[in-house]
A and B are shown apart, each in its own frame.
Chain A
């Protein structure tokens, strides 16, 4: 096993004991990138020189005996919708093709402060809009398990990078499932923390009330380690919560005995792939055997989550993406016209991809005079209902277990012509964004050679619980 295939937590131990250097580790990852990138296409930008410099600096800190975070010297990939100072940040969009931020996203800055080695910016669906990482200016990222298949999205580049050893761990963002779903498709572990747990400053907004930064890693303990670094209140993001910051690694070993998990009956119905269903149920049985209490619960409004999500997310997106107008930065269509409106039209028509334009138009419609009440307000009401479903359930159970996705990874190109089919891939994940809850995806089996993911949902700000369950499952599933 090469260094780049090891878990972050193991590597942190090896680095601490000086058995390996961060430079060695970083070079191992860079070598893997060179080998795999031609077939995987996980990265939009590679930051080899910066990475090696940061690796040497991390090594210096260890040699000098400084107190370092476990993240010190670990190669981290960053989704390309997170601002990195001096490093191109494109959102996989032509409109930001050459955009270089003047500041680091808070989460990125915290990782850097803890000694993370930034190895590159990963591919995504343009502005996070998509479930397959096919909507990108650099083309699709391939699933490392089988390159004919999609890697999921929108944090598909991050997921594929971790799965292929092109990164040890990665930052992603999740607006409707964009961390959990690609984690499931690539057979890795991903966590979307509670809304407000991680600062959104520097996360290029898709839908502000749903967007959340999280971690994609090889295991629950890797995710916990990275989450320790990036979470916390940020006075520059008023939606970030001013809550206590636990040590997420401390609960990992507690096991699942005595915990109560709910299985929402609405999630195990027609439309769910049988193989995935069986995998999840097998996992649940293992957990039960290990002392977890399982009970069926009901989330009656679950079926409305996709429709309310696509109204709220597109409404916010239509406004969030208005700033890309060719005036201040980014792409501007060369136009002969001296008419500003024409400049806007051409810039935005050419600068955005078709899925982004579809969502901007949808969202503009949703907020229009005469439709606002029927669509936007109604969706907000449904959102509250979905939230109260969860509140009710969590009075009885400590966590909720569902499949992460209704289907296995599909072939590249397969769903591109049918947006609605693509939207339905997020059917089990969007409700967490609507209700702000934390959720994880862990691999729970293989179906026809493709990975299946199990989603674990927790109470607000109880990431410790879902990490504990995920970690407990990882231990018994080997």
Chain B
């Protein structure tokens, strides 16, 4: 019997150390992320970034996004709903974090489409057809064209705009900023400069609601 209690006590102890360690580590990490975001506020927002919603909205979400990322695709309609639930109160800026192989080429397409005023339509078409052009975590540029045919893009102009040096520069700047802000996974959200304490849509929603409440108090 004594042996049994030793083993049970050891198991409980190990699991407890694991659990407390995990909580402690998460807290430290969240604190550090908040600190990093605070110190690098300049890197969070660039004038070049596309954005949705009211420009002077009290709540500003910055999303680091990869068009080839499945979770980004799943978050898109939910963030859109969140914006619709608070009309005029939320602005979303998109920063690029093309971490998937080949994804930077797709970002070039998005930027070129922005020149034609079709950014949103292109992003939505890309997300809708993501399964067709992302294979094995690799984005295939040649597979995206069929899904972009219906939105009225001037393809010749698009292909010319894709290779412009400003576009490459913009992507490069976003990647540098992602690195500065310790963004290693997508999507990553910052609400009025604050990172998510832990990842999840509920956490994002809560942070947005807190920011809305704060804005209402002012």
Q: Do A and B bind each other?
A: no
